[in-house]
Structure 1
Amino acid sequence: MKKARISYNGSIHEAIEWEGQLQLDDGRIVDQSEVVWLTPVEPRTVFALGLNYADHAAELAFDAPTEPLVFLKGPNTFIGHNAQTRRPSDVEYMHYECELAVIIGKTARHVKKEDAYQYVKGYSVANDYAIRDYLENYYRPNLRVKNRDGCTPFGPWLVDASEIDNPMNLKLTTHVNDQLVQEGTTADMIFDIPTLIEYLSGFMTLSENDVILTGTPKGSVDTAVGDVIVTEIAGIGRLVNTIIGDEAFTNR
């Protein structure tokens, strides 16, 4: 079952996919085009992995890490399906990053790898945009790069963990204006999901609706204002986002 959070006629609803449409929690059936898509959960603490695919590390001319390279993301970074992301006019290189999002389902502390999947609620898709101009170095890469308002589309669906046989063998793709530009598989992660849960829960408590963004494979190219970006993970969902420019914003 694919679940979502949406806004419809001014109210927020839980919804499920229903024969290509949406069934709201009050029983109504509505078309997907009639709603505003929210993030599939309200994220609590969000952990994002840097350089978790060796081919992407090489693409950035970095060595692959020997332990998880993790940074945190603030709540204002997240937007839903079919939303818009701002590209500042003074930057030269802003690229998408298709990532498998892992949503924690219950309190986790000192979890062993063999038990890690018991703590996963489900999976979703994230597109964690990066502005390469802001990248400082290997050790301080991502505060300004990864915490801009609206820089991370997330959704549209939360797919229950029980419905994904092997989250470590899922195809990831990105299309820009219908052209395939990124293709990879979660099988190529340096640190897999159980390793990440064991690592993080080893020094801090994980809670329900914490999210782990597990990194992206190679294939990141520059995007332009007006581009429509589609990040997709097999069995999880198809996330659409449009790049807009500074001219859409005014200071009053």
Structure 2
Amino acid sequence: MKLLRYGPAGHEKPGLLDEDGNVRDLSGHVADIAGDVLLPGSLARLRALDAASLPRVEGNPRLGACVGGTRKFICIGLNYSDHAAETGAQIPPEPIVFMKATSAMVGPNDTIEIPRNALKTDWEVELGVVIGKTAKYVSERDAMDHVAGYCVVNDVSERAFQAERQGQWTKGKSADTFGPTGPWLVTADEVPDPQALPMWLEVNGHRYQNGSTATMIYGVRFLVAYLSQFMSLQPGDIISTGTPPGVGLGQKPPTYLKPDDVVTLGIAGLGQQRQNVVQG
């Protein structure tokens, strides 16, 4: 299934994408794509519905972040061997973990706002892992039982805030609009191997990132198990798993986002995003 949330910001309704690419309304069955709706039993009940019998949403509605009520937006840094090489960083002996504020989450086609006083706003296409069942001290063997599905994330980053202003990375990752998420949550049964997904990102039609989840250092199974040793992972939590090479920081010379840029990105089978860039 491809689950989504549509409508004005802050007032999104639950929906799904049918086989013909139509948005179907799920409001008669669930209140939101959030919380217990992501449990395995709840997803099974949604999967059993006849999509053609659901109300069709006319027009081209705005899509919100594909998951609601997210309490933790957990990011993994330098998790692609080829990206680590491009930045001149050593491969970390354990995953680099940081948090992105959930208030950064926006829809997949919403505007990206460059923060005031920002100097180096960058892009990062990433595979998002959506937790469907609480994970606490789980093993790698059982880790995938706790994954509801996957989505596209643009981990927008302000490098000057992140690396030149002291302290942790969070303040360079958490500005409003820095977390476009979606367009939809693709349930895990439709993604047989999350470590074999081509991914790409373009700015103004120029392709900067052209990678694959195959080069992740720490894969989805490991990350779910690893993170669950330090904190419980709850339904709706998102793990953004790192980015392949081609970020603006790695260009020669470095290249960063500016007002009027257009960012497009996608992951095979998970959909695409498109964002206009403005000055905040």
Query: TM-score, structure 2 length as denominator?
Result: 0.82
Distance between the aligned counterparts of 1:10 and 1:208, measured in 2? 20
**Alpha-carbon spacing, 1:11–1:72, altered in 2? closer, same or farther (3 Å):** closer
Distance between the aligned counterparts of 2:228 and 2:191, measured in 1? 23
- Name the structure 1 match of 2:3: 3
Matched, 1:128 2:155: yes
Query: Which secondary structure state, in structure 1, belongs to the residue aligned with residue 259 of structure 2?
Result: coil
- Name the structure 1 match of 2:262: 228
Return 215-224 or 4-13, whichever deviates more: 4-13
**Alpha-carbon spacing, 1:125–1:10, altered in 2? closer, same or farther (3 Å):** closer
Query: Which secondary structure state, in structure 1, belongs to the residue aligned with residue 12 of structure 2?
Result: strand
**Alpha-carbon spacing, 1:2–1:62, altered in 2? closer, same or farther (3 Å):** same
How far did residue 21 of structure 1 move?
2.2
- Name the structure 2 match of 1:250: none
Q: Which residue among 113, 132, 135 is the counterpart of 1:108?
A: 135
- Name the structure 2 match of 1:184: 211
Distance between the aligned counterparts of 1:149 and 1:164, measured in 2? 30
Query: Which of the pair is proportionally richer in strand?
Result: 1
**Alpha-carbon spacing, 1:162–1:225, altered in 2? closer, same or farther (3 Å):** same
Distance between the aligned counterparts of 2:8 and 2:99, measured in 1? 31
Query: Any unmatched runs of 5+ in structure 2?
Result: 29-53, 249-255
Percent of aligned pairs with the same residue?
Answer: 35
**Alpha-carbon spacing, 1:9–1:133, altered in 2? closer, same or farther (3 Å):** closer
Q: Which one-letter code corresponds to 1:66 in the other structure? A: P
Q: CA RMSD in A?
A: 2.0
- Name the structure 1 match of 2:83: 56
Matched, 1:77 2:104: yes
Q: Which residue among 210, 217, 224 is the counterpart of 2:237?
A: 210
How far did residue 92 of structure 1 move?
3.1
Distance between the aligned counterparts of 1:115 and 1:155, measured in 2? 26
Matched, 1:47 2:48: no
Return 58-67 or 111-120, whichever deviates more: 58-67
Counting matched residue pairs gives: 244
Contact 2:161 2:172 in 1 (8 A): yes
Query: Which secondary structure state, in structure 1, belongs to the residue aligned with residue 264 of structure 2?
Result: strand
Q: Deviations over 1:64-105 (max 9, x none)?
A: 211010011221110002101111364332111000000011
- Name the structure 1 match of 2:274: 240
Query: TM-score, structure 1 length as denominator?
Result: 0.90
- Name the structure 1 match of 2:189: 162
Contact 1:22 1:32 in 2 (8 A): no
Return 121-130 or 195-204, whichever deviates more: 195-204
Distance between the aligned counterparts of 1:76 and 1:15, measured in 2? 22
How far did residue 108 of structure 1 move?
1.0
Contact 1:21 1:32 in 2 (8 A): no
**Alpha-carbon spacing, 1:202–1:10, altered in 2? closer, same or farther (3 Å):** closer
Matched, 1:36 2:62: yes
**Alpha-carbon spacing, 1:194–1:12, altered in 2? closer, same or farther (3 Å):** same
Return 185-194 or 54-63, whichever deviates more: 54-63
Distance between the aligned counterparts of 1:11 and 1:194, measured in 2? 33
Distance between the aligned counterparts of 2:3 and 2:121, measured in 1? 30
**Alpha-carbon spacing, 1:9–1:210, altered in 2? closer, same or farther (3 Å):** closer
Q: Which one-letter code corresponds to 2:63 in the other structure? A: W
Query: Any unmatched runs of 5+ in structure 1?
Result: 247-252
- Name the structure 2 match of 1:20: 21
Q: Which one-letter code corresponds to 1:37 in the other structure? A: L
Runs (4 or more) in structure 1 with deviation over 4 Å come to 8-11
How far did residue 30 of structure 1 move?
2.5
Return 193-202 or 90-99, whichever deviates more: 90-99
Query: Which secondary structure state, in structure 1, belongs to the residue aligned with residue 84 of structure 2?
Result: helix
Distance between the aligned counterparts of 1:55 and 1:10, measured in 2? 38
Distance between the aligned counterparts of 1:54 and 1:157, measured in 2? 27
- Name the structure 2 match of 1:249: none
Distance between the aligned counterparts of 1:22 and 1:203, measured in 2? 38
